Amino acid sequence: MENNQQNGNGRYSAKGMAKPVNFLCIAPEAQEVSVIGDFNEWNGERHVMKRQFDGSWNTQIDLHHGHHRYQFLIDGKPTLDPSANGVVRNEKNERVSLIAVS
């Protein structure tokens, strides 16, 4: 239980726990890929992905329970994730990927 975070009431809350989520992007021609989303203020420098030998890119991000909007930033171009749980719109009415963390 020491990995759990306590809320103000002294009780353990699942909302305080983050779960490691793997992101995979197939972009063999890319020079740089990162994950941008509501969990990092859409900042491309926060979650830079690592290139794998097969040309794919991956990273692991700890996300809290709930729905998160995100995109891949491939060489500076926002791109939807074809493996996402769905597609929704952001505040600018742009299409973004959706992932559900439970």
Domains of the chain: 20-101 (2.60.40.10)
Task: Report pLDDT digits (tens) over 36-51.
Answer: 999 999 999 999 999 9
Taking 50 as the pLDDT cut, the residues of the chain under it are 1-11
Do residues 61 and 33 make contact, with C-beta atoms less than 8 angstroms apart?
Answer: no
**CA gap 49, 59 in Å, rounded:** 5
**CA gap 73, 97 in Å, rounded:** 12
Model-level pTM greater than 0.85?
no
**CA gap 74, 98 in Å, rounded:** 17
